[in-house]
Chain A
Amino acid sequence: MNRLARKYLRPSQIPTKACHGCGIGMIENWLLQAIDELGLKQEDVIFGTGIGCVGRQTFATWGGDNFGATHGRALAVATGLKLAQPDKKYLIVVGDGDAAAIGTSHLIHAARRNLGVVVICEDNMGYESTGGQFSPTTPAGYVTNSSPYGMVEPPFDPCDVVQAAGATFVAETTATQWHQTVKIVKKALQNDGFSFVHVRFPCNENFGAYALGTRDTGKNLEWIYEHTQGRKADGSAADFTWATGIKHDASNSRPEFTKILRDVNARVRAKAEAR
């Protein structure tokens, strides 16, 4: 067990139960690194998860307080938690299905309200725990379990959606970008408002097998890397490019949601007392 895992995680949940070569455990390690570098303790952070590989493989790994919500509802639960315990940091780790399909309305409204939580959307470009169906983030044209002739629907970029909705910190990274991801997560945790970190990672088991024709971890990571560069290993152009990095940083520029509510309450109380 590595130092960070010993410091922050529940020993019974290590090693991760994700498939061999899956990015979920690796990304969690990077989250721990960011938490550690900020000097946060177990009791400072509440860890929430959704349902899916991302949700269930990270559920109850955190040694401090944590919760597992139903599919898509982690942010709805976090809204109540943050109101009750506004001084904690919240790491809400969800899949693309949780965040961008069945739970999109919660995502948009949490961003609009500038709810003070960090959403880590670990995007494996499909519903992988149910066998690899396409999701709203599956690149158009790619073959999945539910799109044998290629995904015919246009995908959307969850970063665009939350930015348009009012998120104060938005960033995109991938499982091939360790240092960048740690830096981004640290910044996200320092925003007293809604932070959204989109991390693409390979699901070798399903997305890799259906869309890329391989379960090889190296090849799957390489495919992701090529799309961060817009260029394949042989120098030819990739079919599309993901622009990674910080996409929008308005950290601490407008009041956090629960603070707004507390301020209103204080004002109402003061008025009532004055009467």
Chain B
Amino acid sequence: MTTGALRPAADVRVMDGNKAAAWAVLLCRPDLLASYPISPQTPLLEQLYKFRAEGRLDAETVEVEGENSALSAAVGAVTAGGRAFTATSSMGLMFMYDAYLYASGQRVPVVMSVATREQCAPHTVSSGQQDIMMVKEGGWVQLVAESCQEILDSILVAYRLAEDPNVQLPVNVCYDGYYLSHLSEPVGVPTQEAVDRFLAAVGVGKRPVLSTEAPLSFGAFVLGELYAEYRYKHCQAMQRALDLAESLDGEFQAAFGRAWGGSIEAYRTEDAEVLLVGTGSACGTLKVAIDHLRQEGVRAGLARIRMFRPFPRRRLAELMRGRRAVGVLDRSVCFGWNSGHLYVDVRATAADLEARMPLVNFIGGLAGADIRREMLEDAVRTTVARGRGEPGPEVVWLGLE
């Protein structure tokens, strides 16, 4: 591990995911924090209000009358050249959807965390990843964390990606509600200088903003070819965000003394016969299941998607190549495909490979339902069996069938 001239993590503290997010936001020195409370995101706001009250966070904090206004206010502040942060979950994310599309279409580099939660109806406040899946084609970059440390790190990365002049896109940092937002782990909190240094490449003066000296218009009315140009450039920027995410890691490691890891974490994949694919904190359990089965000689590995949008298609295809079968774990439902959302992406990625392989989807953990290690061991075994040619349903609902 390379440690550059800067000190590595100055401080290891025990904190939950919402606190880890709040620490990251504090260190990124935003100008505006706009918010509306919703579980399980609220303790993050509480921590930020606390930082503000203690005089540590020098940001305007505004509690608006609904999420649409929260994101819109953040968009306004960023458009004027500031750095803004907002956070939400579930119905709050849905309630800001038009502002969400505005932010990405206008290439406003705002950062928003999502403590993921199931969608109503039926009404629930439990954990799930349906909310972020409902907005996945909204033109934002979406990072999904597995641990509290990764939440903190991902927010640092998020500002770096968002504000990069070659990217200039809004970024979501997503983490599982309750499992991460409310559970505590040791988290290395970097020093302010290290974060300042890491973010020095971006910030005020490095991108177009509203100003009286050089007036600009945001939110233009556009037709036909010019509209297509907007979309084309947006797609290109998404791909540059993916490239930057892969290449940023050296810098991240130099600044903080640990890796962030890029778009995908490959876990025990070198000699794996079957590959599992997942995203978020359930991958922790999946890793334990894999370790356990490896003791029995089952050669399984995991590709954990850390950057969900833009989708790391090339890197995933490399990891899938040559496996006997691929199993995908989803904590959300894609109604149109009668499967999970990640599964649809993995199927699409499989088309990039020369050889076909059996694919199987496991749906579980909806509305906070437990995903136990034994369930995932069964899932890995099922994947192995499919690799040997055993028939079975394409989509397996964990705990339902």
Q: List residues of A whose CB falls within 8 A of some B CB.
A: 51, 68, 70-72, 101-102, 104, 127, 130-131, 133-134, 136, 145-149
Give the docked Cα–Cα distance between A146 and B53 (Å).
10
0/1 string, B47-60, CB within 8 A of A gives 1: 00110010000000
Partner of A133, one of B53, B63, B66: B63
Contact of B65 with A by CB under 8 A: yes
Contact of B123 with A by CB under 8 A: yes
Partner of B37, one of A68, A70, A127, A148: A127
Measured between C-beta atoms, what is the minimum distance from B46 to chain A in Å?
Answer: 6
Known interface pairs A70-B91, A102-B36; A146-B120 also in contact (CB < 8 Å): no
Please name all residues of chain A whose beta carbon is closer than 8 Å to the beta carbon of B65 when the two chains form the complex.
101-102, 104, 136
Measured between C-beta atoms, what is the minimum distance from B280 to chain A in Å?
Answer: 23
Give the docked Cα–Cα distance between A133 and B36 (Å).
9
Please name all residues of chain A whose beta carbon is closer than 8 Å to the beta carbon of B91 when the two chains form the complex.
51, 70-71
Contact of B38 with A by CB under 8 A: yes
Known interface pairs A136-B65, A145-B49, A146-B37; A131-B42 also in contact (CB < 8 Å): yes
Contact of B195 with A by CB under 8 A: no
Please name all residues of chain B whose beta carbon is closer than 8 Å to the beta carbon of A72 when the two chains form the complex.
66
Flag if B123 contacts A133 (CB, 8 Å).
no
Since A72-B66, A146-B49 are in contact, a sample of 9 more A-B pairs with Cβ atoms closer than 8 Å, ordered by chain A residue number, is A51-B91, A70-B91, A102-B65, A102-B67, A130-B37, A131-B42, A133-B37, A133-B45, A149-B53
Flag if B66 contacts A101 (CB, 8 Å).
yes
Measured between C-beta atoms, what is the minimum distance from B25 to chain A in Å?
Answer: 16
Complex A-B: 13 CB contacts under 8 Å:
A51-B91, A51-B123, A70-B91, A71-B91, A101-B65, A101-B66, A104-B65, A130-B37, A131-B43, A131-B46, A133-B37, A146-B45, A149-B53
Flag if B46 contacts A145 (CB, 8 Å).
yes
Please name all residues of chain B whose beta carbon is closer than 8 Å to the beta carbon of A70 when the two chains form the complex.
91, 120
Interface centre among A68, A130, A134, A147 (most CB of B within 10 A): A130
Measured between C-beta atoms, what is the minimum distance from A22 to chain B in Å?
Answer: 18
Please name all residues of chain B whose beta carbon is closer than 8 Å to the beta carbon of A145 when the two chains form the complex.
46, 49
Flag if A131 contacts B37 (CB, 8 Å).
yes
Please name all residues of chain B whose beta carbon is closer than 8 Å to the beta carbon of A146 when the two chains form the complex.
37, 45-46, 49, 63
Please name all residues of chain B whose beta carbon is closer than 8 Å to the beta carbon of A131 when the two chains form the complex.
37, 42-43, 46
Contact of B95 with A by CB under 8 A: yes
Please name all residues of chain B whose beta carbon is closer than 8 Å to the beta carbon of A130 when the two chains form the complex.
37-39, 42
Please name all residues of chain B whose beta carbon is closer than 8 Å to the beta carbon of A136 when the two chains form the complex.
65
Measured between C-beta atoms, what is the minimum distance from A187 to chain B in Å?
Answer: 30
Closest A residue to B120 using CB positions? A70
Please name all residues of chain B whose beta carbon is closer than 8 Å to the beta carbon of A148 when the two chains form the complex.
49-50, 53
* Beta-carbon contacts under 8 Å, B197-250 to A: none
Please name all residues of chain A whose beta carbon is closer than 8 Å to the beta carbon of B53 when the two chains form the complex.
148-149
Give the docked Cα–Cα distance between A146 and B47 (Å).
10
Measured between C-beta atoms, what is the minimum distance from B346 to chain A in Å?
Answer: 32
Flag if A102 contacts B66 (CB, 8 Å).
yes
Measured between C-beta atoms, what is the minimum distance from B249 to chain A in Å?
Answer: 37
Closest B residue to A56 using CB positions? B123
Interface size, chain B (Cβ < 8 Å): 19
Please name all residues of chain B whose beta carbon is closer than 8 Å to the beta carbon of A104 when the two chains form the complex.
65
Closest A residue to B62 using CB positions? A153
Measured between C-beta atoms, what is the minimum distance from A51 to chain B in Å?
Answer: 8
Closest A residue to B43 using CB positions? A131
Please name all residues of chain B whose beta carbon is closer than 8 Å to the beta carbon of A71 when the two chains form the complex.
91, 95
Known interface pairs A71-B91, A148-B49, A149-B53; A134-B38 also in contact (CB < 8 Å): no
Measured between C-beta atoms, what is the minimum distance from A3 to chain B in Å?
Answer: 31
Flag if A68 contacts B123 (CB, 8 Å).
yes
Please name all residues of chain A whose beta carbon is closer than 8 Å to the beta carbon of B45 when the two chains form the complex.
133, 146
Give the docked Cα–Cα distance between A70 and B38 (Å).
13
* Beta-carbon contacts under 8 Å, B63-105 to A: 63, 65-67, 91, 95
Interface centre among B37, B38, B50 (most CB of A within 10 A): B37
Measured between C-beta atoms, what is the minimum distance from B385 to chain A in Å?
Answer: 42
Give the docked Cα–Cα distance between A205 and B42 (Å).
17
Please name all residues of chain B whose beta carbon is closer than 8 Å to the beta carbon of A101 when the two chains form the complex.
65-66
Closest A residue to B39 using CB positions? A130
Closest B residue to A130 using CB positions? B37
* Beta-carbon contacts under 8 Å, B1-56 to A: 36-39, 42-43, 45-46, 49-50, 53
Give the docked Cα–Cα distance between A83 and B220 (Å).
39
Closest A residue to B49 using CB positions? A146
Give the docked Cα–Cα distance between A145 and B61 (Å).
13
Measured between C-beta atoms, what is the minimum distance from B189 to chain A in Å?
Answer: 22
0/1 string, B106-143, CB within 8 A of A gives 1: 00000000000000100100000000000000000000
Give the docked Cα–Cα distance between A232 and B120 (Å).
45
Give the docked Cα–Cα distance between A71 and B120 (Å).
11
Measured between C-beta atoms, what is the minimum distance from B88 to chain A in Å?
Answer: 12
Measured between C-beta atoms, what is the minimum distance from A156 to chain B in Å?
Answer: 11
Closest B residue to A129 using CB positions? B39
Please name all residues of chain A whose beta carbon is closer than 8 Å to the beta carbon of B36 when the two chains form the complex.
102
Give the docked Cα–Cα distance between A41 and B148 (Å).
54
Measured between C-beta atoms, what is the minimum distance from B134 to chain A in Å?
Answer: 14
Give the docked Cα–Cα distance between A127 and B39 (Å).
12
Give the docked Cα–Cα distance between A127 and B45 (Å).
13
Partner of B95, one of A68, A102, A133: A102
Give the docked Cα–Cα distance between A51 and B53 (Å).
29
4 A-B pairs with the lowest CB-CB distances in the bound complex, closest first:
A102-B66, A130-B37, A148-B53, A101-B65
Give the docked Cα–Cα distance between A72 and B69 (Å).
14
Measured between C-beta atoms, what is the minimum distance from A130 to chain B in Å?
Answer: 4
Give the docked Cα–Cα distance between A71 and B49 (Å).
23
Measured between C-beta atoms, what is the minimum distance from A120 to chain B in Å?
Answer: 20
Measured between C-beta atoms, what is the minimum distance from A222 to chain B in Å?
Answer: 28
Measured between C-beta atoms, what is the minimum distance from A270 to chain B in Å?
Answer: 40
Measured between C-beta atoms, what is the minimum distance from B183 to chain A in Å?
Answer: 18
Please name all residues of chain B whose beta carbon is closer than 8 Å to the beta carbon of A133 when the two chains form the complex.
37, 42, 45, 63
Measured between C-beta atoms, what is the minimum distance from B54 to chain A in Å?
Answer: 9
0/1 string, B317-355, CB within 8 A of A gives 1: 000000000000000000000000000000000000000
Give the docked Cα–Cα distance between A50 and B106 (Å).
33
